Amino acid sequence: MVKTLSNNQVRVQPTESAVYTAIIKELMEKNTKFHTYKPRQDRSFRVVLKNLHPSTEVNDIKQALKEEGHEATNIWNVKQRSSNHPLPMHFIDLKSNTNNDIYSSTRS
């Protein structure tokens, strides 16, 4: 689908992944300015891990997830907005092509 927008902009919405990839490749080769979102199948799966002390090492969390069959791409401690104080909460991005049934984890 192609749609002309205001400001001489064009919106292109391909229906297939292969078409999306070909369009992006062509735009990059021609050094064209563009904006895109990651296709759903390429996005990471984000979960929130609560009630874990902020001083917990990220590598320990990553290793525990790996033992459960999950591949974490990014882990960070959540901080309070106003004071930047660490909270007992971590955001975890998991690779989208791995087992994302994290809610049935056997660890407590």
pLDDT at 65: 87
Same-domain check for residues 9 and 26: yes
Closest CA to 93 of 44, 59, 60: 44
Same-domain check for residues 32 and 55: no
Same-domain check for residues 26 and 63: no
Alpha-helical regions (H) of the chain: 17-29, 58-67
The domain that holds 94 is classified in CATH as 3.30.70
Instruction: Tell me the C-alpha distance between 18 and 101, whole Å.
Output: 28
- Flag residues of the chain having pLDDT under 50: none
How many domains is the chain built from?
A: 2
Same-domain check for residues 49 and 6: no
Same-domain check for residues 50 and 92: yes
* Residues spanned by the domain of 11: 2-40
Same-domain check for residues 57 and 30: no
pTM of the model: 0.60
pLDDT at 103: 60
pLDDT at 91: 94
